[in-house]
Amino acid sequence: MKDSVLTIDSGAQSAGWSEDRVELLKKLWMEGLSASQIAGELGQGVTRNAVIGKVHRLKLSARAKPTNSTPRARPAARPAPRRVASPTASIGSTMAGMNKVRASVSRPQSIGATALAVSNDVEVQMYVAPVAAEIFIPEDKRLSLLQLNEHTCKWPIGDPLTKDFYFCGQHSQDSTPYCEFHSRRAYHQVDKKRR
């Protein structure tokens, strides 16, 4: 009798990569499925991180090479990002981008009348100049630094060195340090890319 020596007979192991699972992983990965899709296919006990981790361990990270050899920027060594304590809500000078406003005039449909093609719909595109003050805060709503709390928008407005400096002060929903309006500003324009 030949006994298959497998080290996977530890009973009910969770995400133990049995051979058939690994094969399935390879297959799906080669077919171009994303890690999350493969994870879903393998079962709920497998996360996409697990898949990616296994993929890398198997050294099959590169599945499709169109032309060049993945000039993936290798940041060499990382300063051990483990456990970041403070996300750092750096509030700084974030100028407002341009707001593109697109106003379209709805064309009146010709009812009753026969035919008569409608004229080209009028679209007006204009660029609103980047206003210095992004939003107007009534004076009675303006807060100083000491008036801020967990539920006030901490978006700075004005020059900190002058008297007309204040914080937005509007109610911030969740754990967001900003109100809805400024939260979009803070997280959407800057950061993300362009680092």
Chain residues in the site for DNA (CB under 7 A): 14-17, 33-37, 46-50, 52-57, 61-62, 72-78, 80-84, 183, 187-188, 192-193, 195
Q: Whole-number minimum distance, CB 72 to DNA, in Å?
A: 6
Neighbour-count burial for 81-110, b at 16+ CB within 10 Å, e otherwise? eeeeeeeeeeeeebeeeeeeeeeeeeeeee
How far apart CA 161 and CA 84 sit, in angstroms, is 32
Q: Whole-number minimum distance, CB 66 to DNA, in Å?
A: 14
Q: Whole-number minimum distance, CB 42 to DNA, in Å?
A: 10
Instruction: Count CB neighbours of 122 within 10 A.
Output: 10
| 141 and 147 Cβ atoms separated by less than 8 Å | no
Q: Whole-number minimum distance, CB 183 to DNA, in Å?
A: 7
In the bound state with DNA, the residue whose beta carbon lies nearer, of 38 and 166, is 38
Please list, in sequence order, all residues whose beta carbon lies within 8 angstroms of the beta carbon of residue 37, skipping any fewer than 6 positions away. 28
Closest to 51 in 3D by CA, of 69, 24, 75, 73 = 24
Q: Whole-number minimum distance, CB 195 to DNA, in Å?
A: 5
Q: Which residues pair with 102 in a beta bridge?
A: 125
What separation, in Å, do the N-terminal and C-terminal C-alpha atoms of the chain show?
62
